[in-house]
């Protein structure tokens, strides 16, 4: 019995692989290495370079390794890019997921865990947002993921497969043992951008909009440590393997920080006062989004890293580690 992790050479996927390998699971990673890195894949697991939509390859992996579960991370994740290039998102996040699910069903895979996103909610009125809130994504990214959620639910109703959907809030931080971290070239996520600016890799950074209807006018997000996030996947997989029902869960801590608060935290953790500009809003950004995490907590999830300063510290440590590598991924 083994688990197929797609996108296991990427940021969150590589942490999932560490979590599973630490728990003694057999793992196969499938990654096309367009945004991931082979050196992020733990040496205890097998890496296959290829595409999740390659039905022949996926079927072969499932049969040869007796895959009982798939954890599907591979996809595109940048909200503003999805506004500029929606078809890339409908291909990578929707069409490719369809093909992977088809191969899973054909190969008799029992459980399918899918990386979804808080972006499926869109503009949220009530906070924190629960899983049964109205789904009204405001970006192609959110819509591309929501379509995959629906596909999965329809397929599970028709075939003997159960699923777990995790809607991620804002994932940050790095493996506490510093075996992996956010390494994506040209990363756009706030904490990553801020620690790179602190380290002088960027001359300045911009706050995208300060006229939102939030306490300080900047967007509010629920930042969750990547180690807590992958632990939630492990828990959900255990639930499905024990015969539990398919479910969709939010993954966040249930509290939010504004962009200005995050930047202040990065300045205090690093001890560096870097330049910050206030610029216009970025397309596709909801003002505020915080997780209602009751469902995942009811499954027994107990976060261990709910501390913004600690999350920033690990992100900062990882960024400094990347600086020591000759093959450091490009920053911009």
Shortest Cβ distance from residue 220 to ligand UFG (Å)? 8
Whether the Cβ atoms of residue 16 and residue 45 lie closer than 8 Å to each other = no
Residues 26 and 2: their CA atoms lie apart, in Å, by 5
Whether the Cβ atoms of residue 141 and residue 76 lie closer than 8 Å to each other = yes
> Hey, how many other C-beta atoms are within 10 angstroms of the C-beta on 189?
19
11 is a catalytic site residue = no
DSSP 3-state assignment of 323?
helix
Q: Which is nearer to ligand UFG, 218 or 247 (CB)?
A: 218
Shortest Cβ distance from residue 321 to ligand UFG (Å)? 21
Shortest Cβ distance from residue 53 to ligand UFG (Å)? 21
Q: Which is nearer to ligand UFG, 92 or 162 (CB)?
A: 92
Taking alpha carbons only, the member of 289, 298, 296, 304 closest to residue 250 is: 296
Q: Which is nearer to ligand UFG, 2 or 259 (CB)?
A: 259
Residue least distant from ligand UFG (Cβ): 219
The residues of the shown chain that bind ligand UFG, judged by CB under 6 A, are 77, 79, 117-119, 168-170, 188-190, 193, 205-208, 219, 221, 259, 282, 285, 289
Shortest Cβ distance from residue 208 to ligand UFG (Å)? 4
Q: Which is nearer to ligand UFG, 59 or 214 (CB)?
A: 214
Q: Which residues have CB under 8 Å from 79's CB, separation 6+?
A: 119, 139, 141, 142, 282, 284, 285
Radius of gyration of the CA atoms of the chain, in A = 19
In the set 89, 141, 168, 253, the catalytic residue is 141
User: Is the link from the previous residue into 128 a cis peptide, with omega within 30 of 0?
Assistant: yes
Would you name the residues annotated as active-site residues?
Answer: 141
């Amino acid at each position: 019995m083994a688990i197929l992790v797609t996108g296991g050479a990427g940021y969150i996927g590589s942490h999932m692989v560490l979590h599973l390998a630490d728990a003694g699971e057999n793992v196969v990673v499938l990654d096309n290495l367009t945004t991931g890195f082979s050196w992020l894949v733990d040496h205890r697991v097998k890496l296959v370079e290829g595409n999740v939509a390659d039905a022949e390859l996926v079927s072969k992996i499932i049969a040869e390794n007796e895959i009982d579960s798939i954890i599907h991370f591979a996809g595109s994740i940048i909200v503003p890019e999805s506004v500029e290039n929606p078809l890339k998102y409908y291909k990578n996040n929707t069409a490719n997921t369809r093909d992977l699910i088809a191969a899973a069903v054909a190969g008799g895979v029992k459980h399918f865990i899918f990386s979804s996103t808080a972006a499926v909610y869109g503009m949220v009125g009530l906070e924190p947002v629960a899983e049964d809130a109205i789904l009204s994504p405001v970006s192609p990214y959110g819509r591309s993921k929501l379509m995959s959620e629906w596909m999965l639910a329809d397929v599970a109703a028709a075939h003997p497969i159960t699923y777990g959907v995790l809607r991620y809030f804002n994932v940050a931080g790095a493996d506490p043992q510093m075996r992996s971290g956010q390494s994506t070239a040209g990363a756009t996520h706030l904490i990553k951008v801020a620690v790179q600016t602190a380290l002088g890799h960027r001359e300045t950074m911009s706050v995208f909009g300060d006229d939102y209807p939030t306490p300080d006018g900047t967007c509010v997000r629920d930042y969750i440590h990547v180690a807590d996030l992958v632990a939630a996947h492990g828990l959900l997989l255990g639930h499905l393997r024990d015969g539990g029902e398919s479910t969709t869960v939010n993954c966040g801590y249930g509290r939010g920080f504004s962009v200005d608060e995050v930047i202040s935290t990065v300045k205090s953790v690093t001890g560096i006062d870097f330049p910050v500009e206030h610029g216009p809003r970025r397309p596709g950004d909801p003002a505020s989004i915080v997780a209602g995490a009751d469902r995942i907590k009811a499954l027994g999830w107990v976060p261990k890293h709910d501390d913004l300063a600690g999350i920033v510290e690990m992100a900062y440590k990882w960024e400094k580690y990347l600086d020591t590598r000759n093959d450091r991924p490009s920053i911009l």
